[in-house]
């Protein structure tokens, strides 16, 4: 399916029955935001949980429901419908839909579409844990996989029935990532099979239960890099300081607060092929945080004793069995940007430093960035651009370096 971008593609989305059907709505939103066309088929059971109007409004297309609809068959016969998209996606794929597809049954529009199509199929199963583990379901899934059907999920977790285990529908972001991977093919995802670690945002070092040491980092650049790497196929772990940003599609997120927590989470995410350390980590912390809120006293402010935090970039740049093949640090500077970046590259032992001047308006906490890419052999100055554009360029350079 390579040769086109997702903007040229269309998905035929079959919405099955079950409580998890509501997740089809944010999935459609993600696909449309990415420029992917969506044409929904709503099963009778699915219509018990989501409405044709909500699907049509988000998909910006007609919703098909009946196999024997005179109007629909006149406008677009079910055979043509089954081949009108580049990919058929079933969300949620119930035990019933899986069984029908595996055994070639065609009693309604959804099952007929699956039988008549000549396009790839992706199923996202969702069902009770006992139904998922039942030998009949497992036989049907094995049959479909042998026929070339792709699957995403299910996940382990609590279900509406009150049980816990495998059978929970994968999250919309995970399904979206699987769809894009199938639509664009391996050529558009050069980091497939690679693992990436990204840190982002500030850290917060508590002084007492309400005060702490932090900085103005928004996390936007780090989150954008994590998203760009995931779009190129990487398996990304994003270790995030305290920021109010949504998790990028296809990214595993670990939330932390302090520098020590960020180091531990980063080490737990190894091994990785590339580490991109974007987070603005506090250099110091108080030696011991107070257990109660400090009060104003007549003698003036309290004396605080500071100690150094662990150096995450230097620690993970050190030679060892888990050192990423490519280690990239960030340098937020206010003066002599190139000189400080070169010194940091040598001091930390990393492979690249990406530096910026945070005194520029709209950079620290804003949506744009202008960076220098500093390596042992060269310095590149990149023009100011939106942070997602900077992230996409960084991700492409990482892909080239790891090729």
Say if 140 falls within a structural domain.
yes
DSSP result, 373-392: EE-SS-EEEPPPEEHHHHHH
Pair (106, 120) in one structural domain? yes
In this structure, the number of other CB atoms found within 10 A of the CB of residue 334 comes to: 11
118: domain CATH number is 3.40.50.1950
293 is in an annotated binding site: yes
Residues annotated as catalytic (active site), given as ranges: 161
pLDDT band at 189 (very low <50, low <70, confident <90, very high): confident
How many structural domains comprise the chain?
2
Q: Are residues 151 and 213 in the same domain?
A: no
In a domain, 1, yes or no: no
Please indicate, yes or no, if residue 55 is contained in any of the structural domains.
yes
Which residue range is the domain that position 329 belongs to? 189-402
Query: Is 351 annotated to bind ligand?
Result: no
Give 316-355 pLDDT, tens digit per residue: 999 888 999 999 999 888 899 899 999 999 999 999 999 9
Contacts 24+ apart (CB under 8 A), 184-189: 184/1, 184/2, 184/4, 184/5, 184/6, 185/1, 185/2, 185/3, 186/2, 186/233, 187/2, 187/3, 188/2, 188/5, 188/232, 189/231, 189/232, 189/233
Mean pLDDT across the chain: 89
Which among 186, 212, 243 is the end of a domain?
186
Looking at the fold, whether 228 and 351 belong to one and the same domain comes out as yes
Residues 374, 293, single domain; the answer is yes
- Of 130, 158, 186, the residue that ends a domain is 186
Residues 170 and 268 in one domain: no
High-pLDDT (> 90) share of the chain, %:
60
Q: Check whether residue 270 and residue 335 sit in a common domain.
A: yes
Q: What is the mean pLDDT of residues 292-309?
A: 88
311 is in an annotated binding site: yes
pLDDT digits 0-9 by tens, 245-282: 999 888 999 999 999 999 999 999 999 999 999 999 99
| Each residue's pLDDT tens digit, 76-92 | 566 788 788 899 999 99
Q: Are residues 126 and 206 in the same domain?
A: no
31 is in an annotated binding site: no
Same domain, residue pair 323 and 370: yes
Q: Is residue 199 part of a domain?
A: yes
Does 72 share its domain with 87? yes
Least confident of 128-132, 323-327, 366-370: 366-370
Q: What CATH number is attached to the domain comprising 366? A: 3.40.50.10300
Residues 97, 201 within the same domain: no
Identify the domain boundary among 137, 164, 186: 186
């Amino acid at each position: 399916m390579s040769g086109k971008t997702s903007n040229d593609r269309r998905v035929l989305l079959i919405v099955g029955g079950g409580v998890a059907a509501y997740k089809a709505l944010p999935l459609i939103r993600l696909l449309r935001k990415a420029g992917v066309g969506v044409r929904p088929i709503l099963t009778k059971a699915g219509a018990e949980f989501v409405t044709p109007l909500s699907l049509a409004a988000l998909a910006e297309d007609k919703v098909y429901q009946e196999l024997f609809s005179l109007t629909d068959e006149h406008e677009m016969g079910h055979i043509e419908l089954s081949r009108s998209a580049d990919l058929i996606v079933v969300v949620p794929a119930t035990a019933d839909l899986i069984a029908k597809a595996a055994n070639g049954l065609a009693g309604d529009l959804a099952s007929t579409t699956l039988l008549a199509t000549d396009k790839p199929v992706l199923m996202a199963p969702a069902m009770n844990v006992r139904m998922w583990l039942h030998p009949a379901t497992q036989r049907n899934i094995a049959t479909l996989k042998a026929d070339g059907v792709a699957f995403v999920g299910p996940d382990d977790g609590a279900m509406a029935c009150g049980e816990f285990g495998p059978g929970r529908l994968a999250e919309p972001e995970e399904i979206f990532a699987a769809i894009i991977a199938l639509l664009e093919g391996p050529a558009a995802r050069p980091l497939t099979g690679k693992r990436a670690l990204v840190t982002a945002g500030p850290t917060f070092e508590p002084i007492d239960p309400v005060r702490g040491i932090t900085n103005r980092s928004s996390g936007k650049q780090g989150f954008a890099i994590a998203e760009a790497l995931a779009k190129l196929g990487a398996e990304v772990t994003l270790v995030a300081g305290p920021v109010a940003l949504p998790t990028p599609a296809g990214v595993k997120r670990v939330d932390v607060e302090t520098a020590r927590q960020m180091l531990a989470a980063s080490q737990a995410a190894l091994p990785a092929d590339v580490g991109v350390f974007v987070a603005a980590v506090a250099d110091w912390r108080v030696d011991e945080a107070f257990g109660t809120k400090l009060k104003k006293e007549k003698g003036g402010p309290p004396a605080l004793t500071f100690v150094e935090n662990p150096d995450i970039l230097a620690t993970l740049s050190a030679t060892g069995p888990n050192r990423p093949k490519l280690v990239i640090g960030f340098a937020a500077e206010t003066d002599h940007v190139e000189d400080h970046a070169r010194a940091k590259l040598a001091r930390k032992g990393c492979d690249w430093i990406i530096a910026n001047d945070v005194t520029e308006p709209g950079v620290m906490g804003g949506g744009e960035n202008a960076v220098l890419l500093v390596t042992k052999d060269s310095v590149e100055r990149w023009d100011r651009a939106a942070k997602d554009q900077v992230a996409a360029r960084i991700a492409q350079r990482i892909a080239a370096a790891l090729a």
